[in-house]
Amino acid sequence: MNKLPVALGLAAMALVIGTQAGFAQTRPSGPSTYSYPSADEQCGAEMGYLRFIRKDVVQDIAPSRVAILPVCENVSLFDRFDSSRLFQEGNVSGLRGTIGQNGYLAEALYDKNYDADDVVGMRVNNEDLVILYVHKH
Instruction: Write down the domain spans for the chain.
Output: 39-134
Residue 42 has pLDDT above 90, yes or no: no
Residue 130 has pLDDT above 80, yes or no: yes
Residue type at 80 in one-letter notation:
R
φ/ψ of 79, rounded to 5, equals -80, -10
Residue 91, C-beta contacts closer than 8 angstroms, at least 6 positions apart: 50, 51, 52, 53, 121, 122
* Span 81-111, pLDDT tens digits: 566 777 777 899 899 999 999 999 999 999 9
Residue 124 has pLDDT above 70, yes or no: yes
Q: Could you count the other beta carbons within 10 Å of the beta carbon of residue 102?
A: 20
Instruction: Please answer whether residues 87 and 93 qualify as being in contact, where contact means their C-beta atoms are separated by less than 8 angstroms.
Output: yes
* Span 53-84, pLDDT tens digits: 999 999 988 877 899 999 887 765 555 556 67
Instruction: Please answer whether residues 122 and 95 qualify as being in contact, where contact means their C-beta atoms are separated by less than 8 angstroms.
Output: yes
pTM metric for this prediction = 0.65
Q: Where are the beta strands (DSSP E) in 33-118?
A: 65-70
Alpha-carbon span 92 to 37, nearest angstrom: 26
Residue 68, C-beta contacts closer than 8 angstroms, at least 6 positions apart: 108, 109, 111, 112, 114, 132, 134
Query: By CB neighbour count within 10 A (0-12 exposed, 13-18 middle, 19+ buried), where does 39 fall?
Result: middle
**Model pLDDT, residue 37:** 42
Residue 1 has pLDDT above 60, yes or no: no
